A and B are shown apart, each in its own frame.
Chain A
Amino acid sequence: MLVTRRTTSVLLAAGLLTFGLAACGSGDEDATDPGKPDDKQITVYSGRNEQLVKPLLEKFTEQTGIAVKPRYATTAQLAAQLIEEGDKSPADVFFAQDAGALGTVAKRGMFSTLPEATTTKVPPTYRAGNGQWVGLSARARVLAYNPDLVPADQLPKSVFDLTGPAWKGKVGVAPTNASFQAFVTAIRVQHGDAKAEEFLAGLKANDPQIRDGNIKIVEDVNSGTVPVGLVNHYYLGEVAKEQGTTPDALKVKLHFFPGGDTGALVNVAGLGVLNRSATDPDVQKFVDFMLGTEAQTYFAEQTFEYPVVAGVHGPAYVPPLADLAVPDVDLNDLDTLDATVTMIKNSGLVP
């Protein structure tokens, strides 16, 4: 019996070693080969989810014959990875989920300046003033609400009303989410640090329903566990997709804060091109494709975001971007993330 078991172990261990080591050696020698310009291959670090953008990247390859090597992780992780890699990064393009991450990498001097012909396709509000990154799609901050629990006529006029006693224990927030941080930065830009601190303290004292991410908030509002929640508009689309229905058919509805309230901030997802790929024609083709009609329509229809290029219609279940009373905040001013993060930490909303 012992012998059998030992023989099995020997075989197992030997097989394991051979297989494991063989697996290691197989075919990824060129993993970090940055490639040459115009070699019909680009490496994209995508902080946007694979499920959302993979079909789009495949379309690009189909049309141009340029292969895309995508690397998917969270936007924050990839920003940390890019900074750690520095000049040796194999990435050509950083495709990020929010302007703050793009600003962080840009501040390290890792992005090249995009050609003016590219950047001017996008309204100045949705790109970097110095041309280091450009927005590809826009997302609006909204208050998701359950009409059974909160009738439409009782919705708050301003996001700052949510710290009032009427909303105690009723507001879902995801304070670790980048869009929440951008929103708090916008309060600081528009109303000053004192107001932002007061808002965070008020929110914390009002017994908020803290969630790990926006999807959970939308699900909980939809099911009636939480009456209202601060999220981005497109999460309704994602939840509806999973339930096999349309955003309009969901119980949860969207409230856009009126009158240029900070609660109605519009942020972007966008991209920056790494220094060493500044003149790579393949990369330029990629940037042009992402700002083209087809990709912009894809964002509207498949990820439920707002296109940023003129002439492409937004998703059907939300008012057009032009009709939103967007607060008077320049996205370029949202790069003081450090102070915001310290403020959110001090508020006790996060560990």
Chain B
Amino acid sequence: MAVALIPLAYLAVRTAEAGWDRIAAELWTERVGLLALRSLGLAAVVTTACVLLGVGTAFLVIRTDLPGRRAFAVLAALPLAVPTYIAAFAWVSAMPRLEGFWPAALVLTLCSYPYVLLPVAAALRGADPAQEEVSRSLGRSGWQTFTAVTLRQIRPATAAGALLVALYVLSDFGAVSILRADTFTRAIFVAFDMGFDRTGALVLSSVLVALTVLLLAGETATRRRGARYARLGGTRRPAPRLPLGAARWPVLAALLGVAGLALGVPAVSLGRRLAAGVSRPGALPEVLTAAGNSLTVSLAGAALTMLLALPLGLLAARAPGPLTTVLDRLAYLAHALPGVVIGLSLIFFGINVAYPLYQTRWLLALAYATLFLPLAVGAVAGAAAQSPAGLEEVARSLGRGPWSVLRTVTLPLTLPGIGAGAALVFLTGMKELPATLLLRPTGTDTLATELWTSTAVGAYAAAAPYAALLVAISALPTWLLVARSGLLDKEDRT
């Protein structure tokens, strides 16, 4: 848990150094107020759009007779493999005048709605259709049943996905900087860039932490009120599919449109850049080394994150209570901080506490763990909550020790969650740039840093293969996640 606290401690130390006068001068300005409103506004708009798009797509793919629904399931989840800075860059290349709040909201929505889609799809698939049947038999219409029963059944999954999206929007830098939407994250980066104003940047970061606390408190509140989980009995059967009838063509067109915007625009735009430029990436070994480095640091990050997330996730599922809630929420706090702040806080930690680790892959892995812990904790807790605690009690009553139970019962039951969490962390680590730049071992290039290096001097054609490779490698864990959420399952499988 201490991992998530490193950035908070760092912020506290450095902000306190600035002195109250300086903090007050930075804080009580119209500018900070506007930034806060705009950041929250962007988070609200993107989260709403992602919920609509994510729940809608999940419902269409899981519960209707949409033609080619499994292909659509993969297409709909793939944007997860596209980093926002690549998507935003592609959009700006395609439409030079694009800038501001709404374009940023569009790009962020297209890149992050799978965060809602995946858990909701899994929940829809696992939900007990009996409740819906009862609702229908008691005279409610199909739509009433959907809003009153189905949506409530998937509410925890929707809320979890929405929270991730909201935090992601608060911390994202790629889209808002390229599309020039003035949010907190952009202001923090600009403060670093302009005059190397560390204090100003860190004071702003503290405000971002405060906003995140508000957001988390809000989410916790709705979670308590709306909590309603469908407990599955011994048998599980799939819900009947809703025939779409004539509506299926417009629905199909809409889904194709979303996929075109989310994947087609980046693909076409990058292709055009590749064709137009003459710069070329380094020799094949260089590209492969970068890919290898990306793989190892992301895998190391995923492994470390899972190690840290496992106890937290199990605690959240098995021993709910105020303390657990606080611990769980703390893990989310660092998730909303921009990568550059996490990077600096770990430099501080590396220099002052763990110097032997400084500028090694370990510290970078630790940064990924700090940034992406909630992704992993959520997945572990979700899987642990689905497996009945009774099994563990039985094992204990039959004389097994606690470790033995953990090893032979709890862990195997939680493994799908661990796998999903690891895939998500790995995927996100591959795309991470700011913290990677600050913490990587000197001389180590990853796909993301090579991409940055090339685009910074306008060598877009040289950047394109790195971008393509990054998306291609990220597509693999994305596919795993899709398979895990049951989106690919055949009709008769239960």
Contact = CB atoms under 8 A, between A and B. Distances in A.
A243 B493 contact: no
Contacts of B302: 16, 20
Interface in B193-211: 193-198
Given A32-B359, A345-B31, A71 B443 contact: yes
B278 A181 contact: no
B80 interface: no
Interface string A220-256: 1001010000000001001101111000000000000
Interface stretch (A85-93, A191-199, A277-285, A293-301): A85-93
B125 to A, nearest CB: 14
A242 B195 contact: no
A68 to B, nearest CB: 9
A333 interface: no
Contacts of B198: 80, 83
B190 interface: yes
B416 A84 contact: no
Contact of B418 (A13, A100, A176): A13
B171 interface: no
B392 interface: no
A100 B416 contact: no
Contacts of A337: 195-196
A16 B347 contact: no
Given A101-B196, A215-B457, A70 B442 contact: yes
A81 B457 contact: no
B358 A49 contact: no
A242 B277 CA distance: 5
B371 interface: no
A77 interface: yes
A21 B359 contact: no
Given A23-B299, A84-B347, A351-B182, A242 B194 contact: no
A73 to B, nearest CB: 5
Interface stretch (A4-12, A110-118, A305-313): A4-12
Given A23-B300, A176-B190, A344-B194, A225 B96 contact: yes
Contact of B348 (A84, A341, A344, A350): A84
B297 A23 contact: yes
A43 B416 CA distance: 44
A23 B296 contact: yes
B384 to A, nearest CB: 14
A17 B304 CA distance: 8
Contact of B180 (A84, A86, A88, A210): A210
Contacts of B418: 9, 13
B365 interface: yes
Contacts of A39: none
Contacts of B370: none
A39 to B, nearest CB: 15
A10 B412 contact: yes
B7 to A, nearest CB: 13
B457 A238 contact: yes
Interface string A47-80: 0011110000000000000000111111011011
A61 B347 CA distance: 29
Contacts of B362: 24
Contacts of A23: 296-297, 299-300, 361
Identify whether the interface residues of A are mostly helix, strand, loop, or mixed: helix
Contact of A178 (B193, B277, B458): B193
Contacts of B306: 13, 16-17
A76 B453 contact: no
Contacts of B340: 77
Given A176-B190, A212-B178, A341 B195 contact: yes
B359 A351 contact: no
A16 B422 contact: yes
Size bracket of the A interface: 35 or more
A176 B183 CA distance: 15
A88 B353 CA distance: 12
A247 B177 CA distance: 28
B196 A350 contact: no
Contact of A72 (B186, B307, B449): B449
A156 to B, nearest CB: 24
Contacts of B190: 176, 350-351
A288 interface: no
A88 B357 CA distance: 13
A245 B75 CA distance: 39
B427 to A, nearest CB: 13
Contact of A77 (B35, B296, B303, B437): B437
A13 B415 contact: yes
A322 interface: no
Choose among A12, A28, A220, A340 the residue with the greatest number of B CB atoms under 10 Å from its CB.
A28
B347 A90 contact: no
B96 A86 contact: no
Contacts of A340: 195
A181 B438 CA distance: 24
A137 B462 CA distance: 25
Given A51-B457, A243-B278, A104 B96 contact: no
Interface string A172-190: 0000101001000000000
A199 to B, nearest CB: 17
Contacts of B461: 242
A242 B180 contact: no
Nearest to B181: A351
A10 B415 contact: yes
A32 B442 CA distance: 9
A69 B442 contact: yes
A207 interface: no
Choose among B180, B279, B299 the residue with the greatest number of A CB atoms under 10 Å from its CB.
B299
B276 to A, nearest CB: 7
B296 A341 contact: no
B194 A350 contact: yes
A338 interface: yes
Given A210-B180, A242-B461, A43 B361 contact: no
Contacts of A28: 359-361, 441, 444
B187 interface: yes
A344 B348 CA distance: 29
A1 interface: yes
B159 to A, nearest CB: 26
Interface string B428-472: 000000100110011111000100011011111110000000000
24 contacts: A9-B415, A13-B306, A20-B302, A20-B365, A21-B303, A23-B296, A28-B441, A50-B453, A51-B453, A52-B457, A72-B453, A76-B196, A77-B340, A77-B438, A79-B196, A88-B355, A104-B196, A212-B180, A213-B456, A215-B458, A243-B277, A244-B278, A341-B197, A345-B31
Given A74-B193, A90-B358, A244-B278, 13 more contacts: A1-B493, A5-B416, A13-B418, A20-B303, A20-B304, A24-B362, A26-B361, A29-B360, A32-B358, A49-B457, A76-B194, A178-B194, A340-B195
The 7 residue pairs across chains A and B that have the minimum distance between CB atoms: A20-B303, A244-B278, A351-B182, A23-B296, A341-B195, A20-B299, A20-B300
Interface of A: 1, 5-6, 9-10, 12-13, 16-17, 19-21, 23-24, 26, 28-29, 31-32, 43, 49-52, 69-74, 76-77, 79-81, 83-86, 88, 90, 100-101, 104, 176, 178, 181, 210, 212-213, 215-216, 219-220, 223, 225, 235, 238-239, 241-244, 337-338, 340-341, 344-345, 350-351
